[in-house]
Amino acid sequence: ALVDKGEHRHFMAKEIHEQPEVVGHTISAYLDPVARRVTLPEGGLDFGRIDKLTLSACGTAYYAGLIAKYWFETYAKLPVEADIASELRYRDVPYMPGGAALFVSQSGETADTLAALKDAKAAGQQTCAVVNVPESTMAREADAIYPTHAGPEIGVASTKAFTCQLATLACLAIGAGVARGVLSREEEERLVGALLEVPRHLAEALAMDEALRDLAHEMSGARDVLYLGRGVSFPLAMEGALKLKEISYIHAEGYAAGELKHGPIALIDEAVPVIVLAPKDALFEKTVSNMQEVMARGGKCCLISDEAGLAEAARGGELWGRVPVPSLPEGRLTGLLAPLIYAVPVQLLAYHAAVAKGTDVDQPRNLAKSVTVE
Ligand code: G6P
């Protein structure tokens, strides 16, 4: 084999720890660190001329796409529709002239994503693919490709490919904002400057590996786990739940924090750990107030936030778990960086829970790395 686990027990652990490096590579393919500008490859989408983006993928890649939907809306004011590929391909999508369709896939071979790409192309959309395998079928079929530079991913549960997809999509959203005249030169510089710090924040976040183990061990005894988030943290909550399901076989759900009261709050008791993703962005207070609703009903909550966020939330009562994440620059920049950085504790929690349960972390039952049949 060309790839080995190095000092790690599993490929998944190795791939989680590679993230500062591979996200760094990916970012450098799309940013000029000296000029602090986005440098999108020639022959890509002309974002200045697109009036709608349809975004599609499966599994983890879909959650990367959903996070990017928020970014394209915020930084490029571009209308985005996102759907899982197995639905999109069978919908009667009224594709309009002037639209483009973007597909995200680690392998570039997932059958549903490929079929959705071919449909969009046949319907006259400009197509592009964010893929980790540049010689894949999707890369060949799409009008343009934006490679991620994660290197080979062996663990079935996607980790470094996900953060590299996010890094690429963040650059695309900023590039689109510039092309559409939405972002000024100063704003571009600020956003690019913030992205350049991502590898450093990732390395800092990885330092919590050991500290998360006890919490994950405790969580591994649960039958169900809820993940909550708002805004960009909502798709990440779903990704967190997916990671946990995939490798530890614990039932988990990712929910929009504000939707909790419309159903899942009925599940709350002391046996259901609730993982709350609350970066200090504009929605922090809202998320924390949802967490307090859970705590008031006897739910045990684990808050993932920075030290300031943890201190603020502590006033609301005793937390079951506290996961401090490096603090990020304020405001709009937090929304850009948080999904990349908060992905680390989410991955580590799932990883350690699976190790505690003794499952086959790299080759979970019933799952395939690449699903090339429908
Ligand atoms: C499989 C894998 C997932 C992955 C999904 C999409 O289900 O187990 O980890 O997210 O396929 O794969 P792709 O290669 O298209 O990103």
The per-residue pLDDT for range 91-104, each reduced to its tens digit, is 999 999 999 999 99
Please state, in angstroms and rounded to a whole number, the distance separating the CA atoms of residues 223 and 328.
33
Residue of the CA atom closest to atom 8 of ligand 1: 369
310's enclosing H/E stretch is: helix 307-314
Q: How far is the CA of 242 from the centre of ligand 1 (A)?
A: 11
Residue 64 identity: A
What's the pLDDT tens digit per position in 290-305? 999 999 999 999 999 9
End-to-end CA distance of the chain: 29
Question: Does residue 253 surpass a pLDDT of 60?
Answer: yes
Residue 302 CB partners (closer than 8 Å, separation 6+):
215, 219, 273, 274, 275, 276, 319, 320, 321, 322, 323
Residue 368, pLDDT score: 87
For the entire predicted model, the pTM comes to: 0.97
Residue bearing the bigger pLDDT, 274 or 1: 274
CA torsion, points 88, 90, 94, 97, in degrees to nearest 10? Answer: 70
Task: Provide the pLDDT for residue 329.
Answer: 86
* Local structure of 187: helix, strand or coil: helix
pLDDT of 169 reads: 98
Mean pLDDT for the stretch of residues 319-340: 92
**Atom 15 (ligand 1) nearest CA:** 105
Distance 333 CA to ligand 1 centre (A): 29
- How far away, in angstroms, is 148 Cα from ligand 1 center? 15
* Separation of CA 374 and ligand 1 centre (Å): 13
Choosing from 5, 118, 121, 369, the catalytic residue is 369
Q: What is the pLDDT of residue 122?
A: 97
Confidence of residue 374 (pLDDT cuts 50, 70, 90): confident
Residue 121 is a catalytic residue = no
Tell me the average pLDDT of the chain: 95
Task: Give me the mean pLDDT over the 340-369 stretch.
Answer: 94
Ligand 1 atom 7: the closest Cα is on which residue?
59
pLDDT band of residue 316 (cuts 50, 70, 90) is: confident
pLDDT band at 2 (very low <50, low <70, confident <90, very high): low
pLDDT exceeds 70 at position 60: yes
Which of 365, 369, 373, 374 best tests ligand 1's pocket when mutated (most atoms within 8 Å of CB)? 369
Nearest CA to ligand 1 atom 3: 59
- The span from the CA of 246 to the CA of 150, in Å, is 21
Q: What pLDDT score does 313 carry?
A: 87
Residues with CB under 6 A from ligand 1: 58-61, 105-107, 110, 113, 156-158, 367, 369-371
Distances 294 to 157, 267, 315 between C-alpha atoms, Å: 29, 10, 15
Q: Is the pLDDT of residue 315 over 80?
A: no
How much is the average pLDDT of 118-129? 97
